[in-house]
Structure 1
Amino acid sequence: MFVDQDGPDPNFSATTAVADGIATVTVTGEVDMSTADAMVRAATKDAAPAATLDLRQVTFFDSAAIHAVLQLAEQLGSGLTVLPSTQVRRVLEISGLAGQPWLSD
């Protein structure tokens, strides 16, 4: 298990567990310019061929967070699954990304 606190931000955590070649990254709090890279590192640090981003506990998601998810989608292709919170889903809908194959219902 891996926990990455990028700096002293108490409003963010990304915890990674790898099983059967899938990195499951549980993200809580705010994903923004100061934390988005930590989310990407948490999803890719074990070089797993697939990742599930559990964003159901994310309360804030900005353009840097969108960019981070798109970076992961480019890197992992069909190996990426995103489980969004209501807030994350709304931001992705506004951004025109609601129809992406990596976005879970």
Structure 2
Amino acid sequence: MDQGGAPPVFSASAELDGDHLHVVVTGEVDMATADTMLQTALREPARRVTLDLRAVTFFDSAAIHAVVRLAQKFPDALTVLPSRQVARVLEISGLGGQAWYRSP
């Protein structure tokens, strides 16, 4: 997506609804931003987490590592909603068949 030379804006926000945390991430998730995404998901005491990555435009190995750490922290309680770009990376990395993965 052409943004007139400006770098894509990364953001990660979380909203807690009872014991369910909904984390919305936008922009590029790479080694500079993956930890922020992870910490946003871990900041609130939740039993279930939905990681909404549908507005993510770039996703690298650091981002994959952060998602795997979340899956370990929330076994059977994590849902990942990927963008098409994220889905491709997760599928290529062999994670597309995980229970937490929801196809776009």
TM-score of the two chains, using structure 1 as the length reference: 0.89
Conserved 8 A contact 2:8-2:28 = no
Could you say which residue in structure 2 is the equivalent of 1:41?
39
Q: 1:10 to 1:85 in 2, by over 3 A?
A: closer
TM superposition outliers: structure 1 runs of 4+ over 6 Å:
none
Residues of 2 paired with 1:102 and 1:64: CA distance?
18
Residues of 1 paired with 2:73 and 2:49: CA distance?
10
Could you say which residue in structure 2 is the equivalent of 1:24?
22
Aligned partner of 1:80 among 73, 78, 91? 78
Conserved 8 A contact 2:53-2:82 = yes
Percent of aligned pairs sharing the same letter: 58
Deviation of the 1:49 alpha carbon: 1.2
Residues of 2 paired with 1:50 and 1:79: CA distance?
5
TM-score of the two chains, using structure 2 as the length reference: 0.89
Deviation of the 1:10 alpha carbon: 6.1
Deviations 1:33-85 (A, max 9, x none): 01101111111101211110000000000000000000000001111000000
Residues of 2 paired with 1:11 and 1:66: CA distance?
19
Larger Rg: 2
Aligned residues: 97
